[in-house]
Amino acid sequence: MFRLDAISLTHANGHSALREVTLATGQGEQLAIIGPSGAGKTTLLRLLGASLRPSSGNLTLLDTLPWALAAGDLRQLRSRIGVAHQTPPLPARQRVITAVLAGRLGVWPWWKALASLVYPLDIAGAGKSLAALDLAERLFDRCDRLSGGQLQRVGVARLLYQKPQLMLADEPVSSLDPTLALQTLQVLSAAAKARNATLVVSLHAVDLALACFPRIVGVRDGRIAFDRPATEVDETLLRDLYAAEGRQLPIQDHPLPIAEDASDAMPTPVARRNHCA
């Protein structure tokens, strides 16, 4: 579904956001990206969404070289990739149903997309996506009437409605309580499995990543620190990954101290897995 070969990205101000990143997934894979703040997780997802162009290296998305495409073909490629943002870019006065239906604007013909902005054309479809996230009753509410957590779930509902081949989510549950966070990741995982789509999610909470994803990619200082099955992500790897953030391992409900003896710090990764199965 995608391949990054020695990808680097340097911003105009000279900051190196990613350095020599090599990463690939096949169709239907699900993986979580974890790492400290500023590690490059969001930049990596923006590359996978074809919204940022790498400074060097080779990037393949859906068997295509995105930056070799003409503008129209690049737009078509992006329509096959869905993104749920940590802070969804939803206009305050927009109705929730319109926000969800916007997931298909890139694949609908122009006349249908325009008509749907005037009058929603698939109320049932939008309602189904929202119902999966316990938001069916907010279908016709304005976005400025929702909490931050509800807006995040609307963004996820739009991703579900889009039904892309490559599903990307950048900290999609950061404003949710532990129960809703787990539920939302379960919905994303099930939707990806049902369509054999690839799912890549960046998460702050290490326990959620280990609980819900079979593959974990650790990112630090713009580089891949490790890429392993969740069962092989041990306390030593996590302690090294988050060393710059002190001795606190980020989890969903409260910070968990990293013990000197890894065996005493937290339940084994195996014990925390399969909650999204």
What confidence category does residue 104 fall into, taking pLDDT thresholds of 50, 70 and 90? confident
- CA-based R_g, the chain, Å: 19
pLDDT beyond 70 at 231:
yes
Residue 93 token pair = 């006065």
Name which of 184, 201, 166 is nearest 276 in CA terms: 184
Q: Which CATH class is domain 1-80+164-172+197-277?
A: alpha beta
Chain centre to alpha carbon of residue 106: 19
Half-sphere exposure of residue 232, counting CA atoms within 13 Å on the CB side?
Answer: 8
- What is the pLDDT at residue 113? 62
From residue 175, how far is each of 122, 169, 253 by CA, in Å? 28, 14, 12
Lowest mean pLDDT among 48-57, 71-80, 177-186, 244-253: 244-253
- What pTM was computed for the model? 0.88
Residue 97 token pair = 């149903």
Q: How many CB atoms lie within 10 A of CB 227?
A: 15
Mean pLDDT, residues 94-123: 77
- What is the pLDDT at residue 256? 40
Domain ranges for the chain, please list them. Answer: 1-80+164-172+197-277, 87-162
pLDDT beyond 80 at 263:
no
Sheet with 198-202: list strands edge to edge.
81-84, 166-170, 198-202, 30-34, 215-220, 223-229
pLDDT beyond 90 at 18:
yes
- What is the pLDDT at residue 253? 63
Mean pLDDT, residues 41-45: 96
Mean pLDDT, residues 81-109: 87
From residue 249, how far is each of 12, 36, 49, 174 by CA, in Å? 32, 10, 28, 15
What is the H or E stretch that residue 181 is in? helix 178-195
What confidence category does residue 268 fall into, taking pLDDT thresholds of 50, 70 and 90? very low
What confidence category does residue 264 fall into, taking pLDDT thresholds of 50, 70 and 90? very low
What confidence category does residue 110 fall into, taking pLDDT thresholds of 50, 70 and 90? low
- What is the pLDDT at residue 60? 97
Percent of residues, the chain, with pLDDT higher than 70: 86
